[in-house]
């Protein structure tokens, strides 16, 4: 659950979960935990300020590597069909 909206310096506010619930099995049910990353990419403020996007750059690098490993087989174009007899 969420209650209370702490005010920020600029007059805006933020919501944050403040309650935890547990299942019938006695296990805590963690909300808003997110998904753990498959690949960790360090992002420093300097890189971002200079216009870099380390996450995007790493994603493109990984995709290009996969494309190299999974090239399509070449296709040979057949001769045109003969339609006149």
Q: What is the pLDDT of residues 39-67, one digit of tens each?
A: 999 989 999 899 999 999 999 999 999 88
| Residue pair 17/34 in contact by the 8 Å Cβ criterion | no
> Rounded distance, CA 16 to CA 57, Å?
31
Q: What's the rounded Cα separation, in Å, for the pair 9 and 26?
A: 40
Q: Indicate whether 1 pLDDT > 60.
A: no
pTM score > 0.85 for this model? no
Percent of the chain with pLDDT over 90: 29
End-to-end CA distance of the chain: 78
Q: Is 55 exposed, middle or buried (0-12, 13-18, 19+ CB in 10 A)?
A: middle
């Amino acid at each position: 659950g969420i209650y209370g909206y702490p005010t920020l310096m600029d007059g805006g506010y933020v919501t944050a979960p403040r309650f935890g619930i547990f299942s019938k099995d006695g296990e805590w049910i963690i909300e808003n935990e997110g998904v753990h990353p498959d690949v960790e990419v360090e992002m420093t403020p300097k890189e971002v300020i200079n216009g870099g996007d380390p996450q995007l750059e790493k994603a493109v690098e990984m995709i290009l590597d996969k494309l190299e490993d999974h090239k399509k087989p070449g296709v040979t174009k057949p001769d045109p069909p003969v339609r006149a007899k």
